[in-house]
Amino acid sequence: MSASVKYIFVTGGVTSSLGKGIISASLAKLLQARGYSVTIQKLDPYINVDPGTLNPYEHGECFVTDDGAETDLDLGHYERFLNIPTSQANNVTTGRIYQTVIEKERRGDFLGKTVQVIPHITDEIKDRIRALGKTGKYEIVITEIGGTVGDIESLPYIEAIRQLKWELGKDSLSIHLTLIPYLSTTGELKTKPTQHSVKLMLEYGVQPDVLVCRSEHKINKELKNKIALFCNVESRAVIEAIDASTIYEVPLLMKNEQLDRVVLDKLGLDASREANLEGWQNFLSILKTSTTEVRIGLVGKYVELKDSYKSIAESFVHAGVINCCKVKLEWIHSETITEENVASKLNGLAGVLVAPGFGNRGIEGKINAIKFARENKIPFLGICLGMQCAVIEFARNVMGLKGAHSTEMNPDTPHPVIDLLEEQKKITNKGGTMRLGAYPCKVMEGTKIFDTYTTSEISERHRHRFEFNNEYLRDFERAGMIASGINPNAGLVEIVELKNHPWFVAVQFHPEYKSTVEKPHPLFVNFVKAAVSVSSLVQ
Ligand code: GLN
């Protein structure tokens, strides 16, 4: 390992949604493929202490790490690209920074000093950036700054970068991601917004070392030279990031543009080892060439914003490649599914997934979808709330427990088949208080889920307050829904499956958080496999 850890800062300018997360993950992938140990961190400038309290409509999915951090969805991309777990330290918000500084102030740590944005907030930001370097696990730490340069709330972060660049010298590098818009009326790519964005960075005291330019069209040498001239960067450090057909192509596009080589040169790191991307390339070529399509319905209540189910959608991409097919997701709004229209809504689907969620909205639609999948022997995967709905559906329609429900939706249900976890009963605060992160689960041999995992000891990530009510367990098993996975310490039911169904599995945890390009999740792989065999029967 080299003597000093190298720090790369990634900022964005001109507009939001330029894909800083994917560019950061792609660069990290290339550096990893050259043998470097890399991690990526996201700093988010909003005041929520973490995104766990945010409605998915606000910010997309909340990603959960092994150590139980509720984080930004970009961490999901980092894990899917790098195949190494992230942790609490990989996502920090302004809320958490201020919370820490204020706690220190209350303890008296500042010895009577006036506590200010500079240096106290910026020091805390710098500590959070260096914390990952100090673990000794990484040679390179990439820090992505959320938001857009010029936002008031991003300012302390840019200032922290300015200070760190000064302190770290050659061990640091700043990458600025900008937009090169195309004016169709004149048929030209325009560099002015990029020039202005870099000027803003300079005003804050940060000279970007590398510019990654998002564009719908190719950026020729002449244009790169022009951008270089106006922005004080080398021409080879002006990197074209053209729109890609899939995010998994971006590392290869960045490799063609030599982003990794430029970065290594500037950091004084050895660039002689070529990146080994064989596995990645194979994955991508199957992804781009498979023609068999399998249609799976994703039933949820946030389907208008697809980012709400980011990890689920990506898990299907990974599982599709292993099965040499393309999973075509049909996004179905749970609120629109009724007993009358369920057959037409789910018509022809090779599989149905009922998604995680909170609260009553759309619950009956989810239950209708599950009943249809159960009765028509369509492969089914329920995740978290999806599992709870499968239990409720079975209780009502197979066991005859009229009005069975989760106490989350109906506290007065006569049959609380899903109930609040014991440990949750005293909790009133909403932030970071669910059953979160990785817990072990023991898988019963001779079950579908054992065939799936091929091992009896697994660990999966959780995010919930409610749970299968064990008082009903024997009745469920007698009726044909078995608990095939149990938490060995608490006895909580983590997995249920149906005996008389080709593939009906529902899990209390979130397998989607652990699927990566290198290691597609076995649950998704086997679910898609079951769906493929159904769709071949249909054809
Ligand atoms: N609302 C349910 C619970 O809290 C399910 C949560 C989820 O789907 N993530 O238990």
The 10s digit of each residue's pLDDT in 156-180 is 999 999 999 999 999 999 999 999 9
What's the pLDDT at 14? 85
Residues 66, 49: Cα–Cα separation, whole Å:
18
Helices (H), 83-121: 94-107
Instruction: Check if the beta carbon of residue 361 is closer than 8 Å to that of residue 509.
Output: no
Residue 241 pairs in a beta bridge with: 214
Mutate to test the pocket of ligand 1, among 466, 492, 512 (most ligand atoms within 8 A of CB): 466
- Atom 8 of ligand 1, residue of closest alpha carbon: 356
What is the model's pLDDT at position 534? 81
Can you tell me which atom of ligand 1 is nearest the CA of 510?
A: 9
Would you call 324 a catalytic residue per the annotation? Answer: no
What separation in Å is there between the alpha carbon of 469 and the centre of ligand 1? Answer: 14
Ligand 1: nearest atom to the Cα of 418: 10
User: Rounded to an integer, what distance in angstroms lies between the CA atom of residue 392 and that of residue 275?
Assistant: 50
CA-to-CA distance for 294 and 98, rounded, in angstroms? Answer: 48
Residue to mutate, 465, 468, 512, ligand 1, most ligand atoms under 8 Å from C-beta? 465
Q: Which atom of ligand 1 is nearest to the CA of 359?
A: 1
- Which pLDDT belongs to residue 1? 47
Active-site hit among 124, 393, 494, 512? 512
CA of 464 relative to ligand 1 center, distance in Å: 4
User: Which residues have CB under 6 Å of ligand 1?
Assistant: 356-358, 384-385, 408, 463-466
Indicate if the pLDDT at residue 335 is higher than 70: yes
The rounded Å distance from CA 164 to ligand 1 centre is 41
Asked if 73 and 63 count as a contact pair (C-beta separation under 8 A), the reply is: yes
User: Which residue pairs from 224-228 have beta carbons closer than 8 angstroms and sit at least 24 positions apart in sequence?
Assistant: 226/191, 227/180, 227/191, 227/194, 227/195
- Whose CA is closest to atom 5 on ligand 1? 385
Query: Distance between CA 81 and CA 23 in Å, rounded?
Result: 11
What separation in Å is there between the alpha carbon of 428 and the centre of ligand 1? 16
Percent of the chain's residues with pLDDT above 90: 92
- Average pLDDT, whole number, for the chain? 95
Q: How confident is the model at residue 537 (pLDDT cuts 50, 70, 90)?
A: low
Segment 210-234 mean pLDDT: 96
For CA atoms 266, 269, 273, 279, the dihedral sign is: negative
Rounded to the nearest angstrom, the distance between the alpha carbon of 382 and the centre of ligand 1 is: 12
- Which ligand 1 atom is nearest residue 421's CA? 10
Residue 220: is its pLDDT beyond 90?
yes
pLDDT, residue 2, reads: 47
Cα(386) to centroid of ligand 1, in Å?
9
pLDDT the model gives residue 452? 96
For residue 57, what pLDDT band results from cuts at 50, 70 and 90?
confident
Classify residue 403 by its DSSP letter: T
E strand segments, 73-149: 91-93, 140-145
Q: Could you report the per-residue pLDDT of 186-215, keeping only the tens digit for each?
A: 999 999 999 999 999 999 999 999 999 999
pLDDT of residue 260: 98
- List the residue whose alpha carbon is closest to atom 3 of ligand 1: 464
Q: Which of 267, 230, 219 lies closest to 27 in space, CA to CA?
A: 267
Q: For position 538, what pLDDT does the model report?
A: 54
Is 384 among the residues known to form the active site? yes
The model's pTM is 0.95
Share of the chain above pLDDT 70, in %: 99
The single-letter code of the amino acid at 327 is V
Rg of the chain on CA atoms, in Å: 25
In this predicted structure, the answer to whether residue 235 has a pLDDT above a threshold of 50 is yes
- Least confident interval from 22-26, 30-34, 146-150, 255-259: 146-150
Q: What is the mean pLDDT of residues 116-122?
A: 97
Peptide bond into 85 cis (omega under 30): no
Catalytic-labelled residue, pool 62, 325, 384, 389: 384
Q: Which residue has the higher pLDDT, 98 or 422?
A: 98
For residue 355, what pLDDT band results from cuts at 50, 70 and 90?
very high
- Annotate 246-307 with DSSP letters as a single string: SGGGHHHHHHHTTHHHHHHHHHT----SPP--HHHHHHHHHHHH---EEEEEEEES-TTSGG
Residues 264-291 pLDDT 10s: 999 999 999 999 999 999 999 999 999 8
At 59 the pLDDT is: 86
What average pLDDT does this structure show over 250-266?
97
Instruction: Give the burial string for 25-56 (b: 16+ CB within 10 Å, else e).
Output: bbbbbbbbbbebbbbbbbbbbbebbbbbebeb
Pocket test for ligand 1, best of 334, 410, 421, 464 (most atoms within 8 A of CB): 464
DSSP secondary-structure letter at 115?
A: P
